[in-house]
Structures are given as structure tokens and as C-alpha cells.
Amino acid sequence: MAVVHLRIDNRLIHGQVTVGWVNLVGADHMICTNDQVAKDPVQKMFLPQAARGIKTSVLSVADTVAYVKGEQAAKEKILIIAKFPEDAFALIEAGVEPKEANVGNQALLPGTKPIHVTRSVAVLPEHAPMYRAIAAKVGKLTYQVMTSDKTQNFIDLMEKKGL
């Protein structure tokens, strides 16, 4: 089955993901992908604990690509949570093909000057082309924080803000 969903959410694993998204997409394996997080032993220990029993991996982008292209992944329904759009873009560029993708939360990062596309998503202008490339590859890129929220076209939301 492989990658059933790609979510871009810089909070990684939290209640909305473990309760809502895992159930909605039917995932049996979550992969948090970000090079810095994968090097952090504290996050590697605590993120799987926050996952509430679902198989969870914390991997670099390269290791995520290698895993997804491996034999075991074909037997799984994987939900990838990319910390930042550049992580998701790198996965797509490396040939990862999720069935669907959405943007959850992208909080303001200190020292940056993003444009708030929604209340919970701050986009740096240089990230807009990455979001467009992800949407083009997957077919669409949605914005939906909680599974009960209305799905919106993320590219349309960016365009309304001049991105």
C-alpha cells in the first residue's frame, strides 16, 4: 500500500494526528521526517510515545525515502508527517508518491517574515513554489487542520494572500 497520506505539520505528532488523521487515512505506521529531528535523541524517544500505540518512526528525509521504497513499506499504510514544506518537497522530488497531501500547522518561526495564509499556517514566500510543486505531483494540496474541518485548496489560499 505504502504512503496513504503526507501531512506537513511542524508540530509533528499531537492529538489531532494520533486520533483523527491516523483513523481517517487508515494508517498503521507513522513516519515523522526531518533531518534535525532524526538526530535528536530526545525527540526520537518521545515522538513514538506520543503516537499512542501506532508504529512510529522518526527518520531523516533520506531514510524516509529509502524506507518507503523498501519491501516492508509495500505491506503498510504509511502516514508521513513532514515537519516543514522543504521536507515534504524533498520527499516528492526523491520519488515518494503519497495518495494525498495536506497542510496542517506551520507556526511562525522566530526570525522569519512569513505571510499568514491561515490562522495556523505561516508561509515564507520562498516556500510557495515548493507547495505548488507538491500540489502538482500529488494532484492537489489541501488545508485541513482537524479531520472535522472543511477541506480547502491550499494553493487557492496562498494565492488569496499574494503568494
DSSP-assigned beta bridge partners for residue 121 = 106, 118
pLDDT per residue over 98-108, tens digit each? Answer: 999 999 989 88
What number of helices (H) and strands (E) belong to the chain? 8, 9
Which amino acid type is present at position 35? D
At 17, list the grid cell.
Answer: 494526528
Please say if the pLDDT value at position 138 is more than 80: yes
- Total number of domains in the chain: 1
Residue with cell 518512526: 57
Torsion of CA 79, 15, 106, 3, to 10 degrees: 0
pLDDT per residue over 141-152, tens digit each? Answer: 999 988 899 999
Non-local CB neighbours of 12 within 8 Å, separated by 6+ positions: 32, 34, 37, 47, 81, 83
pLDDT per residue over 28-76, tens digit each? Answer: 999 999 999 999 999 999 998 888 789 999 999 999 999 999 999 999 9
Q: pTM score, two decimals?
A: 0.94
Provide mean pLDDT across the span 82-98: 96
DSSP-assigned beta bridge partners for residue 8 = 82, 103
Segments forming the whole domain that contains residue 117: 2-160
The CATH number covering residue 16 comes to 3.40.35.10
Output the pLDDT for position 162.
Answer: 95
Output the pLDDT for position 65.
Answer: 97
Output the pLDDT for position 50.
Answer: 84
At 63, list the grid cell.
Answer: 531514510
Q: Are 44 and 35 in contact (CB under 8 A)?
A: no
H or E stretch at 93: helix 85-93
**For 29, phi and psi rounded to 5 degrees?**
-150, 125
pLDDT per residue over 7-25, tens digit each? Answer: 999 999 887 777 788 989 9
Which amino acid type is present at position 113? K
Q: Are 33 and 60 in contact (CB under 8 A)?
A: yes
Output the pLDDT for position 48.
Answer: 87
Catalytically active residues are 14
Output the pLDDT for position 146.
Answer: 87
Q: Are 145 and 16 in contact (CB under 8 A)?
A: yes
Output the pLDDT for position 1.
Answer: 63
